[in-house]
Structure 1
Amino acid sequence: MRDPQGGFSLVSAIFIIVVLSALGVGVVRVSTSEVVASASHLQGARAYYAARAGLEWGRHRAVNASQCDAASTLNVENFTVRVSCTAQVYQDPQPFTLYWLRATAEQGALDGTRQDLVRRTVRANVLPP
């Protein structure tokens, strides 16, 4: 005669294997999304510092060389950095020039095949000494 409990043990074992497999898949998905989020955060920080480098470059040109380009493009650590500068001369009572600088660093694309665009923009007003 067969044991009536034998079939129940097999069903229980299969159920436990399925539940543990589902938990394993969930852990892998969470881990993968954490890695992607961490990499995105790192790229955002790199873009910010590339934009800061572009801003410093523009400030140096404006203050030290009196060159205020409406638009310039640089390549900083594989980021495309666009720097714009606007100058305004004021008379109060001595004439002085105030520079408005803007730098935007970006890398990647946002289209149908890639969605890895990272972009950071920084701005500053500069009054030469």
Structure 2
Amino acid sequence: MSTMRPDLRSPQHSAGFGLVAALFLMIVVTVIIVTMAHLSATQHGISSLAIQQARAYQAARAGLEWGIARALEDGACPAGSLNLSGSLSEYSVAVTCTSSAYMENTSTVAIYRLTATAQNGTPGSRSDYAYRQLTAVVER
């Protein structure tokens, strides 16, 4: 009596290999898609923060220019807050000033140190919070 050994290369034994390969390919493609979606969301967040930082800089610069103009025109140390419009309307801008004077020959020279601070909310109040502070020294 001869015993028949099953042939390992028969279609019955290799049918499961295609299923394993298909599942592996599906898992790899799914991981790639999830990773790309995560990277896209991260990139969007970084772009949003960069835009908010640029706006905060422009808002602080507007406050600083306002303070410089007041100091040069009025000869007084300006301080206060600004209400901006347009895309900068969400930013609060505070301008502070300190002054000192000294004598040069026969005239008095005034030095104004201006600081403009711009922010859109308070730290932790929003995910795209931005803060910028600029300082300038003006002589009159």
Please confirm whether the aligned pair reaches a TM-score higher than 0.5, indicating the same fold: yes
- The TM-score with structure 1 as length reference comes to 0.89
Equivalent pairs counted in the alignment come to: 126
List runs of 5+ in structure 2 lacking aligned partners: 1-9
Amino acid at match of 1:74: L
CA deviation vs aligned residue, 1:82-128 (integer Å, no higher than 9, x gap): 100111111122211011000011013333x6333200111100112
Paired-residue identity, %: 37
Mapped to 1, the partners of 2:12 and 2:83 lie a distance apart of: 75
Contact 2:52–2:129 (8 Å) recurs in 1: no
Aligned to 2:83: 75
Structure 1 residue corresponding to 2:109, chosen from 96, 100, 106: 96
Q: Any runs of at least 4 consecutive aligned residues in structure 1 with deviations exceeding 3 A, and if so which?
A: none
Aligned to 1:115, what secondary structure does the other structure show? coil
Aligned to 2:7: none
The structure richer in strand per residue is 1
List runs of 5+ in structure 1 lacking aligned partners: none
Q: What is the correspondence of 1:1-129 to structure 2 with a 5 Å cutoff?
A: 3-69=12-78, 71-76=79-84, 77=88, 78-93=90-105, 94-111=107-124, 114-128=126-140
Aligned to 1:68, what secondary structure does the other structure show? coil
Amino acid at match of 2:103: Q
Aligned to 2:67, what secondary structure does the other structure show? helix
Contact 1:100–1:123 (8 Å) recurs in 2: yes
